[in-house]
Amino acid sequence: MPIEPILLIHGGAGDITDARVPGKLEGMKKSLRSAIEHLIPANGGEGSSLDAVEAAVRSMECDENFNAGYGACLNLDGKAEVEASIMEGDKLRAGCVTLIHDIMHPISVARYVMQKTHHTFLGGSAAQKFALDQGFEQMADGSLVTDDARRALQEFKDRQAKGLDTIFARTELDAEKSQDKEPVGESGSTVGAVAIDTKGNIAVATSTGGITGKVSGRIGDTPLLGCGTYADNQIGGVSTTGHGETIMRFNLAQKILAKIQYGNKTAQQATEEACKEMTERLVGTGGAITIDAKGQVGIYWTSKRMAYAYVKSGKIFYGINHNEQFEEEL
């Protein structure tokens, strides 16, 4: 029996300000509309979940409202070091890249790693060289840097100079005592997509610029399979977002899928339970989007906000605050 195709995306979880909400919502709807043709072709042909998640993420990598590609967060040296991963759930093929710079679409570089090499993960100068060898454009230094990213870095440095909390100096005990539990410097704008097509093929893609003020060479959860991204046709697919160090240590994507596989949880139950358990144990916040093998959707986050949207039955459903969902025609 054919499965109803679904494309589900997120635009990041974190302490997203009111001013940034409209841009994120519009950016996600634009992403869905640009990518849905790959999942549900207008001519009635067979769609591809893998093509759909790549297209959705590529759209958000071009949008400065998100922390991926153009608009990526800056490290302490003022550079945008980006990373991404993509995975398909049939043969469990995957491609991951990290520490590349001045390339607009790290998600497409990750797909090239998956399809054109015998490897799964490339990083640093080797990943950069691979991308250029494959024809990706080496943009001018700083081309992905926006004014907002520069301001965020300066604010981060100002806080450091005043001896205020930072994500590096702050201990978990300090965080537990704090009135807000959002790690300082958390960007809240990593992007991700999960899709299932009519054949039941699940694909996941995630892309990010990391966190503001990270040290050069820092790698987050996004390019790590089982943490930021995972897809398995027999279970489901997950893309995560939030405080990377927390998500890595908890192995959030796999925790969600384990609840579906071994705990007989629905996609929503598994996503909510795992996110809550992560924050209860490790304090740091985050969220995830999930589609299980039955085509059920799961969406949850423990941070203040998470931007999400999905297409189902010709409509777009979206939101950014807890306990809210809007809908409109595709």
Domain segments of the chain as ranges:
6-329
pLDDT value of residue 176: 33
Phi-psi map region of 210: left, alpha, beta (phi>0 left; psi -120 to 50 alpha) = left
Average pLDDT over residues 196-208: 97
Percent of the chain with pLDDT over 70: 92
**Does residue 180 have a pLDDT over 70?**
no
pLDDT value of residue 168: 40
Check the annotation: does 220 bind a ligand: yes
Asked which of 71-85, 150-164, 219-233, 268-282 is least confident by mean pLDDT, the reply is 150-164
Q: CATH number of 6-329: 3.30.420.270, 2.40.50.100, 3.60.20.30, 3.40.50.300?
A: 3.60.20.30
| 2 vs 195, higher pLDDT | 195
Distance CA 101, CA 169 (A): 27
pLDDT value of residue 138: 93
pLDDT value of residue 163: 78
Q: How confident is the model at residue 140 (pLDDT cuts 50, 70, 90)?
A: very high
**Does residue 262 have a pLDDT over 60?**
yes
Residues 6+ positions from 17 with CB-CB distance below 8 Å: none
Structure tokens at 116: 């054109």
Active site residue 246: no
Q: How confident is the model at residue 165 (pLDDT cuts 50, 70, 90)?
A: low
Check the annotation: does 33 bind a ligand: no
Summarised one tens digit per residue, pLDDT across range 18-59 is 999 999 999 999 999 999 999 999 877 789 999 999 999 999
Average pLDDT, the chain: 92
Average pLDDT over residues 128-138: 97
Distances in whole angstroms, Cα of residue 96 to Cα of each of 5, 65, 121, 139, 226 = 25, 23, 5, 21, 12
Average pLDDT over residues 124-147: 96
Distance CA 5, CA 149 (A): 36
pLDDT value of residue 7: 98
Check the annotation: does 244 bind a ligand: yes
pLDDT value of residue 175: 34
pLDDT value of residue 44: 77
Check the annotation: does 219 bind a ligand: yes
Of 98, 190, 279, 302, which is the active-site residue?
Answer: 190
Summarised one tens digit per residue, pLDDT across range 76-120 is 999 999 999 999 999 999 999 999 999 999 999 999 999 999 999
**Does residue 172 have a pLDDT over 50?**
no
Summarised one tens digit per residue, pLDDT across range 205-256 is 999 999 999 999 999 999 999 999 999 999 999 999 999 999 999 999 999 9
Check the annotation: does 242 bind a ligand: yes
Q: How would you class 40 by CB atoms within 10 Å of its CB: exposed for 0-12, middle for 13-18, buried for 19 or more?
A: buried
pTM of the model: 0.93
Check the annotation: does 228 bind a ligand: no
Distance CA 177, CA 170 (A): 11
Strands 286-292 and 297-301: antiparallel
Best CA proximity match to 49, nearest among 7, 85, 18: 7
Q: Which helix (H) or strand (E) holds 232?
A: strand 229-232
Percent of the chain with pLDDT over 90: 87
